Structure 1
Amino acid sequence: MDEEPCEMNKLNRLETRTDYEAFVQFTINNGTWTISCINSSHNHELAKLEERQFLRSGQEILNGHGSIISSMVDARIGLTKSYFFLANEVGGVENLGILRKDATNDLQQKKIMEVGDAQTLLNHFKCKEGEDPNFFYSVQVDQQMTNFFWRDSRSKFDYDCFGDVVCFDTTFRTNKYNLNCAPFVGVNHHRKNVLFGYAFLLNESIEPFVWLFELFLESMENKQPNTIFTDQDKTMENAIAKIFPNARHRLCTWHISKNATQHLANHYANPEFKRLFNKCFYGCLSDGI
């Protein structure tokens, strides 16, 4: 045979073209993409709903699904059992959108990213600092990284506009390192939550709170809020009195309602008392009362 090996490979290559007519055509005008023509005709059967997880374009691990599987595996539940449990919860594997191997790859990727968590986080902060000149972060280190706080320029802008009232809550913890999740949250003029800053604290002693509140003030150019809502925590109360001496410290409505049902149970059974209590509680328009 006189043909070169490369030519033989070319001649013997399977023909994969099928005269596929479906296409989308765009025109670009001043950077704006506009669909100018579309043909949705297919010369093959489309994948069924229950088959979409086999398509690469249909394989996507939602954050919630990935977190559930990861949490179950951390609790020493097998990956296969975790996968099929979640599939059953969403009505079948076809609604989960991923294969078991995708879940395995996702867990492996998370393990790779978790090597050197502290350095990874610092690298992320430095990257954000390069992208956002007004990005602010700080990390407290005691042989290991213990507490950290950050806020971006959007948080600073929102605080300048709506920072007269701040809600600070530490009732949530992360599931791996058992850190206290401590967001600073406000409400904008559309009654939507806005995030002023975010922190993770190793414990709830007064030192981390003082450190965090001082940093928060520093990042906001020492502008103090008028009112701070928190849960009922004496340590937090002492730290607020020290760092925010002019702010009114109030408890969130959930804790007040819970305490009312516990300590005023006999009075709460009286419909008239309950009506007046709720009117005073929910009908107050001033935070100065």
Structure 2
Amino acid sequence: MDADSTENNNGAESINVNRVHIYVLLSILMYIYCDSNSVTHPNVQPNNQLVLSHTPNRSELWISVVESKFRPTIGTVFSSLEARIEFYGKLHYSPVHEHNIGDSSSTIETIKRRDKISRIGCRAYVRFSLLNGLEGPAILNNFSEVHNHHLTSVCYRDLETIWKSLDMFHKQLILDNSKLKIGSGKTFRQVKELVHRYQNIGATLVDFKNFQRYVKCYIRKRDADLFLDRLKKLKATQNQFYFAYDVGACNCLTRVFWADSTSIRNYSFLGDAVSLDPTYGTNKYDMVFTPFTGVNHHRKSVFFAACLLLHEDDESFKWTFQHFLNAMGQKETQFLITDQCPSIKKASPSVFKQARHHYCMWHITQKITYKVGSALSKDSDFLTRFNAVV
């Protein structure tokens, strides 16, 4: 037992030593990466250096060395809050944790950032005298550029707030890709391929996801208006395009019908038999998608029209059939093939005066086992005679 436990202890020590070696190796590689991959940002000077000094009690103080044109001058007037923020970003005082902003009467209001780094007591600050409110012009009164900690490493600068900003290119690309059902993750990787590295994107994946979420929140209550605007644009570009919609008591879209010029032309040649299948209810609005389809000479499905229905009742189907006839120039079909929905059976004769209503064969065959039993439904002679009748 002692020999086994000694061998196990040696193995555990070997594993721990290997882990230490791996950690040291990763630290060295990360240092080399941070030193060799500097990221350039338009608002930050990439060649900033740090000067280390000490207080009488041997505490370390860090000062960022920048060019004289980027160093603040007491008495400088800034026209707006945005101008002060822009100048502050160019100075690259990203680790500053306290902004002291005062008015012209020297009454000072302290605004502290909610940042974990501020807990170490860094005294770096800038102080302005406001001339006309927080958004108006201000004069630089005082500033301190001394930090009691090391500033952010170069390889982590792209994670700071002043580096992360979605420009119009990013936002437009997110919007265009969302129309193509491309999420923010793939869009983020696409931008990375364009700029060659993630550090050059200028934002993080979370920023991409947040912007896409903001867009969805903005259009949440306008999605029906956007859909109708799309149909109106199609109507303006296509002379034969037809659409109709109805709004319920709660000011919500309850039913929409549309048919384009190609579908209307297909119906004029292949509209002898029309199939209606209101069974597609897989959208987040719980509206039933009801397509009108037919079959061409190659036994391929042909699209005639479509509608979205909130309720599968008699009134909704009657409204749909009436607009279908209006779109097709009052030309009725000879055969209307549907499932065994009672509402369709009741609404179709009141609109289609000459069409013969038939049930879909697939729905009929699905009920054979339930109607005649499992034994008879598997009998080959019965199925042959049944198919001949159907």
Tell me which interval the TM-score lies in, with the shorter structure as reference length.
Answer: 0.5 to 0.7
In structure 1, C-alpha distance between the alignment counterparts of 2:269 and 2:210, rounded to whole Å: 45
Task: Within 5 Å, give how 1:1-289 maps onto structure 2.
Answer: 108-143=214-249, 144=251, 145-265=253-373, 266-281=375-390
Question: Identity, % of aligned pairs?
Answer: 32
Q: TM-score, normalised by structure 2?
A: 0.46
**Structure 2 SS opposite 1:181:** strand
TM-score by length of 1: 0.60
Q: Which moved more, 1:110-119 or 1:240-249?
A: 110-119
Measure the CA separation in 2 of the matches of 1:141 and 1:61.
Answer: 27
How far off its partner does 1:107 sit?
5.2
Task: After superposition, give the CA deviation of every residue in 1:131-162 in whole Å (9 maximum; x if it has no partner).
Answer: 11111111112232211101110010000011
Residue 115 (structure 1) shift: 3.5
**Structure 1: runs of 5+ lacking an equivalent:** 1-8, 14-55, 70-78, 80-98, 282-289
Deviations 1:96-139 (A, max 9, x none): xxx78766655554444433122112211111111111111111
Structure 2 segments unaligned to the other structure (5+ residues): 1-41, 47-169, 186-204
Q: Deviations over 1:228-270 (max 9, x none)?
A: 1111111110101111121111111221111122102242232
Distance in 1 of aligned mates of 2:273 and 2:330: 15
Change (3 A) 1:149 1:61: closer
CA distance in 2, matches of 1:217, 1:189: 23
Q: CA deviation at 1:271?
A: 2.2
Does the C-alpha gap of structure 1 residues 188 and 107 become closer, same or farther in structure 2, counting only changes over 3 Å? Answer: farther
Specify the code of the residue in structure 2 equivalent to 1:115.
K
For 2:221, give the aligned amino acid.
Answer: V
Q: How many residues align?
A: 198
Give the 3 Å change call, closer, same or farther, for CA 105–220 of structure 1 in structure 2. Answer: same
SS at match of 1:235: helix
Residues 61 and 215 (structure 1), Cα distance of their counterparts in 2 relative to 1, 3 Å cut: closer
- Closer/same/farther in 2, CA of residues 65 and 248 from structure 1, 3 Å limit: farther
Equivalents in 1 of 2:362, 2:182: separation in Å?
29
